[in-house]
Structures are given as C-alpha cells and as structure tokens.
C-alpha cells in the first residue's frame, strides 16, 4: 500500500500541474471570449486548482519525511530507555553479595563477547539472529547496499519476497542505492533471468557474470556477500541456502574496516567484469 502510494506520488510530482491548468485556463478564456468575466474567473479557478495540487504534493512529501524522522527518533528513544532500564536494574542492587556476583558475571560477559562488542558476529542464515530483513532495514537514508549473489538456490526461498519488498521500500522511501551482481552458470540463465527481472522492477541495479566466461575466476563462485553503507559486511560461506542440521553454512557479520575494505575492492573488481541486466 505504502509502496503504491509512493509510486503515485512520484508520478504526480513529474506532472507540470501549473502549466497544465494555465493552458486549461487559456482554453476556457478562448471558449468564453464573448464573456470576458467568466473567462477570467475560470482562469483564476484553474490557477488556484494548480496551486492546490502542488501544495498537496509538497504536503505528502513533507509528511513522509517527518514520519521517517519521527520513527528514527522513536527508535533512538527506545534505545536510551533500554540503556537506562539496564543501568537501573544493576544499580538498585544493594547487598554486597549480589553486587559481587553481578560484577563477576558482567566481567565474564564482556570477556566472552569481545568479538560481538567490537562489531563481529558469526551466525547462520537460518538462525534468529541472522542479519536478513531486519539488518538491511537499518540502511541509512541515501545509503547503499552492494551485494554479490552466487549461492544457486538462495532466491528460491519464499522469504526473499519480503526481503525484496523491504529493499524496494528502502529505494523509494530512503533513496538507497542497491547494486547486486549475480554469478551463475550459463545453464541456469532462464531461472536467474526471472530473479534478475524481478529485482530490476524493484529499482535494484542488477549485473551478472557468466561462470562459463573465459575470463571467469573460479574463486568468484565462492563470493556471496552484502556491504551496507560501505561500513558493514555480511559474508556467507556455503553453497546452498537449504536448511540442514549437517549444513556448515556460516554468516559472518562484521564492521572490521579492513575486511569491509577488502570486500569493497572485490565488489568493484567483479563489477568491472559484470554485464548490466536490462529488462
């Protein structure tokens, strides 16, 4: 619903309403040339209507902007509220015994989660703490997503419909630039073309590399990652997206600058070799 409304607003903004209604006013004046007063009145009404339409478009644009700002502020206030709540729960403990136990457990937590606190987390694409839909929704306004997709069955999962919907909303509402490079074998063209076409229609810039190309580096088939805002990397290691207890698929989420920079360079290298997909 919101997506359709944004699309309609975009179309409305492209129409030169003032010009159209002025032309309508002139036409009315010509039609009513024998009645100058009526012609003037109709021209004024047409101009007022044009101004009203443009005011409405601006109002809707401003409303969307302030709604987004309000949501950001609401999220930040929730974070602050949680931090105060955690602090209060700890500081209200008075007995020395419990204060000592809490202190020891806090130290152990900090020691056991050094990677997490430094911006590194390892999980699984099927786990509750996967980056997924929630993670990409945090992309900054006017931010970017650079992705490489090589796992053959990833886009066959039903969850990707919602995943793409969120990406489409990021493009429409937060003006995010999304680029995705597909890497696949020539025999999979028909299946992959369907996915690529769907993503282009969402506003994503889609590229592809044919594995059978003589310039293809076999190591590229191991590349499946996403870079958010040039500062966070989600790197997937595995050759299938299907869930299995014995599956060794690993999802590494990191904000380590060196790792992010290496993948950014790899993305640019792949982009040089890729062909842009056009519907």
Domain segments of the chain as ranges? 2-73, 120-276
Q: pLDDT tens digits, residue range 33-46?
A: 555 566 667 667 77
Q: Take residue 172 and report the two structure tokens written for it.
A: 């429409």
Would you say 210 and 218 are in contact if contact means Cβ atoms under 8 Å apart? Answer: no
pLDDT digits (tens, 9 = 90+) for 73-94: 888 888 888 888 888 888 888 8
Detail the DSSP E strand segments found in 120-240.
120-123, 144-149, 177-184, 205-210, 225-228, 232-237
* Helix axes of 17-31 and 36-91: crossing angle, nearest 10 degrees: 160
The number of beta carbons lying within 10 Å of the beta carbon of residue 99 is 13
Q: Residue 236: pLDDT above 70?
A: yes
Compute φ and ψ for 179, nearest 5 degrees. Answer: -120, 135
Q: Which residue has the tokens 């369907």?
A: 194
Question: Which pLDDT does position 2 carry in this prediction?
Answer: 44
178: left (phi over 0), alpha (psi -120 to 50) or beta: beta
**pTM score, two decimals?**
0.68
DSSP state of 149: E
Q: In the structure encoding, which two tokens stand for residue 272, read together?
A: 């040089």
CATH of 120-276, one of 3.40.50.300, 3.40.50.720, 3.40.1710.10, 3.30.870.10: 3.30.870.10
Cβ–Cβ < 8 Å for 274, 207: yes
Strands 232-237 and 250-254: antiparallel
- Rank 115-124, 154-163, 232-241, 261-270 by mean pLDDT and report only the highest: 261-270
């Amino acid at each position: 619903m919101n997506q359709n409304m944004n699309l309609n607003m975009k179309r409305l903004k492209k129409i030169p309403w003032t010009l159209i209604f002025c032309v309508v006013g002139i036409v009315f004046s010509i039609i009513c040339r024998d009645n100058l007063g009526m012609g003037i009145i109709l021209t004024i009404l047409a101009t007022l209507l044009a101004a009203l339409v443009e005011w409405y478009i601006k109002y809707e644009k401003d409303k969307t902007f302030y709604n987004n700002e309000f949501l950001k502020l609401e999220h930040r206030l929730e974070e602050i509220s949680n931090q105060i709540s955690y602090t209060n729960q700890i500081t209200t403990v008075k007995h020395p015994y419990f204060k000592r136990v809490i202190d020891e457990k806090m130290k152990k937590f900090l020691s056991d989660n050094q990677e997490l606190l430094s911006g590194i987390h390892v999980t699984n694409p099927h786990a509750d703490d996967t980056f997924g839909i929630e993670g990409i929704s945090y992309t900054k306004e006017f931010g970017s997503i650079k992705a490489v997709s090589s796992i053959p069955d990833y886009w066959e999962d039903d969850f990707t419909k919602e995943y793409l919907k969120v990406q489409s909303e990021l493009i429409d509402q937060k003006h995010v630039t999304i680029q995705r490079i597909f890497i696949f074998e020539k025999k999979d063209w028909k299946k992959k073309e369907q996915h690529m076409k769907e993503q282009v229609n969402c506003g994503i810039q889609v590229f592809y590399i044919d594995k059978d190309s003589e310039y293809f580096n076999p190591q590229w088939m191991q590349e499946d990652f996403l870079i958010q805002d040039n500062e966070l990397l989600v790197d997937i290691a595995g050759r299938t997206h299907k869930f299995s207890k014995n599956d060794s698929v690993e999802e590494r989420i990191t904000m380590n600058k060196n790792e992010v920079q290496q993948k950014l360079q790899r993305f640019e290298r792949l982009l040089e070799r890729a062909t842009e997909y056009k519907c």
